[in-house]
Structure 1
Amino acid sequence: MSDLPHYPLYIAGEFTAGAAGQKMDSINPATGAVWATFDCAAPADIDRAVAAAQAALDNPDWRDMTATARGKLLYRLADLIAENAGALGRIETTDSGKLAAETTAQTGYVADYYRYYAGLADKVEGAVLPIDKPDMHVFTQRLPIGVVAAVVPWNAQMFLAATKLAPALAAGCSVILKASEVAPAPMIAFARLIDQVGFPKGVVSVVTGDAENCAIPLTRHPGIDRIAFTGGPETARHVVRNSAENFAVTTLELGGKSPILVFDDADIDAAANGLIAGNFGASGQSCVAGTRGLVHRPIYNALVAAITDKAKGLRIGDPHDPGTHLGPLCTIAQVTRIEETLVTARAQGAKIAFGGMRAPAGGHYFNPTLVLCDSPDVETLKVEMFGPVMSLLPFDTEEEAIALANDSDFGLGSGVFTQNVARAHRVSRRIRSGITWVNTYRAISPIAPFGGFKQSGYGREAGAEAILDYTRTKTTWINTSEEPMSNPFVMR
């Protein structure tokens, strides 16, 4: 029997093996070795999870629970997350290669997302309508939308799960959380905390597995009412097609090729730090990675020099070591894709200022890389690479910078570095992205909506309005007249 940790599925309040007996290995990206195993869901497991979620909606323990009481459960979950942030962070780091400093801090902060929606749970209100019929009392209610399929990728799992799970539970829904089959251990460990909170059985299930046996049966299941998906555009197209089977309300938070615009009046040191944060933070494995650096030509050389100088101090190594700046990439496929993309970029005339190769550290490591481009058509400016690769392209005018920023199929994040307040407002408004950071980058909050334009998806996560996306409006008409209905063939 293996001594490796094993992570089962969590369905209907029970930790269980998959119905088909399928198991998969989880790879530690820092070593390239198997460190744990996990169970994979089969279609029968999805059926069981959906049935349990539907039953939970009819269970008086959940159906009739007051919104305030639901909020208290979320407060309890938030406390457990905060108490276990270190342990969850270590598991995520081992499983995905992300820095422990980031996974632990992010998990601790994620607790605030649950607290935020815990506070909103009993603030979802209907309305009494000033109807144009004096003998009618008409009001609306916001009722839970139903069973939610929440699909999250391997990167930023606790954050991306919180943006879906917290508002869904606050609204009174039941949720099946589908973790990526790449590095799913943190989600199963998280399920152990969910199990301690006291949610009725079936309110939350956590599953993982491949597309054919898990993701497709889940997103096309007739019992699913809402799909909240984070992932790549190609997978999202399949999700949208699957939703045609159940007409589930769907929101998509997809990939990006976020531009960071640096104007000649910017603080060069701050801009260099922003570009490093947007490209080398999380080893570039972020959907909002600012991989298209657009730089005003008068400061282009100075900014390249500042970034190059700062990069010399970056340390690559063990993601559990507090002194490490860049850990491994999650999969070896990412490393290979970066290498292939850089070959194309060089052939297109791009120059590699530094990096451009695997780091000799074993595991899935790649050196931080700066690509200098003289054309917007260079491959590294076009494709999402999910690795520590920064590309810089000079521009001459504000109009050109805005045009280059918008010359992308994606529109999730963007950044602007300038000391001119008028320019900051003017430019940020015209960039077609769901988020713009000015003189900073990669900041998040439960209070701020998160989502994109164009092929970066639709719908918004976080913010007060997100909870409404997990409800449906019900309208009730009450006849207050003592007179019986008159002509049944005439609409009132």
Structure 2
Amino acid sequence: MSALDTAWNFPHSVHTGSVPLLIDGTWSTSASGQTTPTYDPGTGDVIAQVTTAGPREAELAVAAARRAFDDQRWTRLSSAARGAILWRAAELMREQADELAAWESRNMGIPVPQARAMVDEAANQFQYYAGWTDKIHGHTVDVGPAERRVQGYTLREPVGVVAMIVPWNAPLISASKKLAPALAAGCTCVLKPAEETPLTALWLGQILHRAGVPDGVVNVITGPGDTVGATLAEHPDVDVVAFTGSTEVGRSIVHAATGNLKKLQLELGGKSPVIVMGDADLTRAIPGVAGAVFWNTGQVCAAGTRLFVHESVYDEVVAGVAAHGRRLRVGYGTEADVDLGPLISGKQLNRVSDYVASGQAQGARLVTGGRRIGTDGYFFEPTVLADVDQSMRVMREEIFGPVLGVMPFSTVDEAVELANDSSFGLAASVWTADGSVGHAVARRIRAGRVGINVHRAGGVYLPAGGYRQSGWGRENGERALDSYLEVKSVVSTLA
């Protein structure tokens, strides 16, 4: 066991004291000595005390990542060796999957079987990008006539230090979707998990160290976004900021990054449309629509929260989705047969409740749900609001809860117009028995991912990202590497 593992071993030490930071291969506390409580959203109880980093710790983490990059601590290894380390990290994640899932469930509230699937998907990220470490190539070209021939070639090189700021709704996946491609590209990293859900991100730091990632290549610091996150976004030694979160915070990162013109990879808010045509197979569409909005208690950037249904099947679809929502079992993540867990916090519970009340005040019809469940934890009923219109806040703003707004349409053109009437463009889906209609509509929708008779699929293999205010750049697939690479041209005469 390494010195790092001896100093602190997750998850055992989470019970015995404050959870430390990982900086330059060492577990450490902050200069302030302060800690932040981490809560179980299913009970409201404190489950850990996590070290509260400040600007000083952010500076130390960036300095460690810069040293590691400049001395080629990671890139001096062969591409095959780096790929093997990423593959080993995935193996360690799978070996510890049950424990990781249990802590992911306890920290964010999602039912354990779904948390287990999240661990698998996070491990897939490292396995997939392990295969890319030896496939990042440039190309060659000859230019000009024979007597003045110039030979050129391109190199794809790591950008440098990447600051990664990830959200609370899918902590392990969000961290892995940034770490895996950045490491495959040869970058060094500072990861800041959300204040609400830091535990599995810190555990992932330990896993990467055990897999063989050198000291300083991956640093994990926890703390508030307005201090730690802001320091990272502004820091002159950070070359890329990779952020997943709200559009509002994304805008602040854009402004902060102007100092040294950092590269940015931003996956921001969504208000994803779902279109159900009159010919759709409703036995598939209704549960598909419900899953698109209610999965993970609606705490998904790409959740299908705006439903447009052809008038010929409108009443049937509204009733069907509402009935499906009522059948979903909401409960604590370790209970048997639970479909949905709690919202992440009391703050989020109040936010979701306020949106439902706002929709009703503006004239929406509450078909089902709309209320808190119990008094312990932050559970909320799956909610369907019918007869909405595009002017309502529930149809224009990201709620991040299990709330669906539904309205009818008459023609395909009207459906597309409604779907595109948004400042967001992260995801969408269309449900139809006519494949040609499905593909035609997919081409017309302004979104980074469109499903036909499915809302969420593709995993690590297909790029995901947003149009308009849903972000810049792409995660997943080969395209994710672009955010962490620079292209250099080298030219020479042949004479």
TM-score (norm 2): 0.94
Count of residues in Structure 1 that have an aligned counterpart in Structure 2 = 481
CA distance in 1, matches of 2:150, 2:414: 59
AA aligned to 1:266 is: A
Mapped contact 1:435–1:451 kept (Cα < 8 A): yes
Q: Give the structure 1 partner of residue 52 of structure 2.
A: 40
The aligned amino acid for 1:422 is S
**Partner deviation per Cα, 1:301-334 (whole Å, 9 max, x = no partner):** 1112222332332111111224111111001111
CA contact (8 A) 1:149 1:227 kept: yes
Instruction: Work out whether residues 182 and 188 of structure 2, in 8 Å CA contact, stay in contact via their aligned partners in 1.
Output: yes
C-alpha contact (below 8 Å) 1:316/1:327 kept by paired residues: yes
Q: Distance in 1 between matches of 2:31 and 2:490?
A: 43
* Aligned pairs for 1:405-484 within 5 A: 405-481=419-495
- Which one is further off, 423-432 or 356-365? 356-365
2:355 is the alignment partner of 1:329: no
Give, in angstroms, the shift of residue 5 of structure 1.
5.8
- 1:125-140 alignment runs, 5 A limit: 125-132=137-144, 134=148, 136-140=150-154
- Name 2:8's counterpart in structure 1: none
Q: How big is the alpha-carbon RMSD for the aligned residues of Structure 1 and Structure 2? A: 1.7
Pairwise mapping of residues 274-293 of structure 1 onto structure 2 (< 5 A)?
274-293=288-307
Provide closer, same or farther for how the CA distance between residues 212 and 309 of structure 1 changes in structure 2, counting only shifts above 3 A: closer
| 1:31 paired residue among 43, 46, 61 | 43
Could you report, residue by residue, the CA deviation over 1:413-457 in whole angstroms, capped at 9, with x for unpaired residues?
A: 101000001100111111111011111122232110010111101
Cα distance in 1 between the residues matched to 2:16 and 2:335 = 22
Alpha-carbon distance in 2 for matches of 1:223, 1:156? 28
Change (3 A) 1:4 1:418: farther
SS class of match (2:344): coil
* Match status 1:104 vs 2:110: no
1:110 positional shift: 1.9
Task: Tell me which amino acid in the other structure corresponds to 1:246.
Answer: N
Whole-Å separation in 1 of the counterparts to 2:15 and 2:77: 42
Counterpart of 1:183 in 2: which secondary structure? coil
Q: What are the residue-to-residue correspondences of 1:180-191 with 2, within 5 Å?
A: 180-191=194-205
Moved more, 311-320 or 270-279: 311-320
Greater mean alpha carbon deviation, residues 308-317 or residues 24-33: 308-317
CA distance in 2 between counterparts of 1:413 and 1:337 reads 23
Corresponding residue to 1:314 among 328, 337, 348? 328
Q: Which amino acid aligns with 2:103?
A: I
2:88 to 62, 76, 82: 76
Task: State the partner residue of 1:62.
Answer: 74
- Residue 68 of structure 1: how far off its partner (Å): 1.6
Task: Check the 8 A contact 1:101/1:322 in 2, yes or no.
Answer: no
Equivalents in 2 of 1:152, 1:219: separation in Å?
Answer: 13
Whether the 8 Å contact between 1:124 and 1:468 is mirrored in structure 2 is no
| More deviation, 55-64/275-284 | 55-64
Q: Which moved more, 1:468-477 or 1:230-239?
A: 468-477
Question: 1:308 & 1:465 partners in 2: Cα distance?
Answer: 38
Compute the displacement of 1:60 (Å): 4.5
**CA offsets 1:74-115 (integer angstroms, 9 cap, x no match):** 111111111112211111111111221111111112211111
The 8 Å contact of residues 24 and 37 in structure 1, kept in 2 or not, is answered as yes
Structure 2: tracts of 5 or more residues without a match: 1-12
* Distance (whole Å) between structure 2 residues aligned to residue 302 and residue 405 of structure 1: 21
- Give 4+ residue runs of structure 1 displaced > 3 Å after superposition: 1-6, 133-137, 477-481
Which residue identity does 2:120 align to in structure 1? G
Correspondence for 2:126? 114
Q: CA deviation at 1:404?
A: 0.5
Q: Does 1:264 align with 2:278?
A: yes
Question: Which residue identity lines up with residue 123 of structure 1 in the other structure?
Answer: K
Aligned to 1:264, what secondary structure does the other structure show? coil
In 1: Cα distance, 2:144 partner to 2:14 partner: 71
Match of 1:95 among 98, 107, 123: 107
Deviation at 1:136, TM superposition (A): 4.2
Displacement of 1:62 = 2.1
CA distance in 2, matches of 1:443, 1:249: 28
The one of 163, 177, 180 aligned to 2:191 = 177
1:489 corresponds to: none
Q: 1:85 aligns with which of 97, 101, 110?
A: 97
Residues 182-212 of structure 1, C-alpha deviations (whole Å, 9 max, x = no match): 1211111111111211111111001111123
Aligned residues of 1:85 and 1:105 also touching (Cα < 8 A) = no
What is residue 397 of structure 1 aligned with on the other side? 411
1: CA distance, partners of 2:303 / 2:246: 14
Contact 1:413–1:433 (CA under 8 A) maintained in structure 2: yes
Deviations 1:123-165 (A, max 9, x none): 1111222122746443221111100111110111222222211
8 Å contact kept, 1:4–1:37: no
Tell me which of 209, 212, 232 is aligned to 2:226: 212
CA contact (8 A) 1:4 1:36 kept: no
Structure 1 residues 61 and 458: alpha-carbon distance in aligned structure 2, compared to 1, 3 A threshold: closer
Q: Which one of 321, 343, 352 corresponds to residue 357 of structure 2?
A: 343
Structure 1 residues 478 and 284, CA, compared in 2 at 3 Å: closer, same or farther? same
Contact map agreement 2:267 2:471 (CA 8 A) in 1: yes
Partner of 1:488: none
Query: Structure 2 vs 1, CA of residues 2 and 230 (structure 1 numbering), >3 Å: closer, same or farther?
Result: closer
Deviations 1:356-379 (A, max 9, x none): 110125210111111112422222
Does 2:396 match 1:373?
A: no
Normalising by structure 1, we get a TM-score of: 0.94
Where does the alignment leave 5 or more consecutive residues of structure 1 unmatched?
482-492
* Aligned residue number for residue 242 of structure 1: 256
Q: Given residue 472 of structure 2, which amino acid in structure 1 is its aligned partner?
A: Y
AA in 2 matched with 1:68: A
Question: Structure 2 CA distance, aligned partners of 1:136 and 1:320?
Answer: 65
Secondary structure, in 3 states, of the residue corresponding to 1:81?
A: helix
In 2, Cα distance between equivalents of 1:5 and 1:264: 58
SS of corresponding position for 2:261: coil
Residue equivalent to 1:195: 209
- What is the letter of the counterpart of residue 30 of structure 1? G
Partner of 1:364: 378
CA contact (8 A) 2:143 2:149 kept: no
Does structure 1 residue 143 correspond to structure 2 residue 157? Answer: yes
Question: 2: CA distance between counterparts of 1:160 and 1:254?
Answer: 12
Could you tell me which amino acid in structure 2 is paired with residue 160 of structure 1? S
C-alpha separation in 2, matches of 1:442 and 1:2: 34
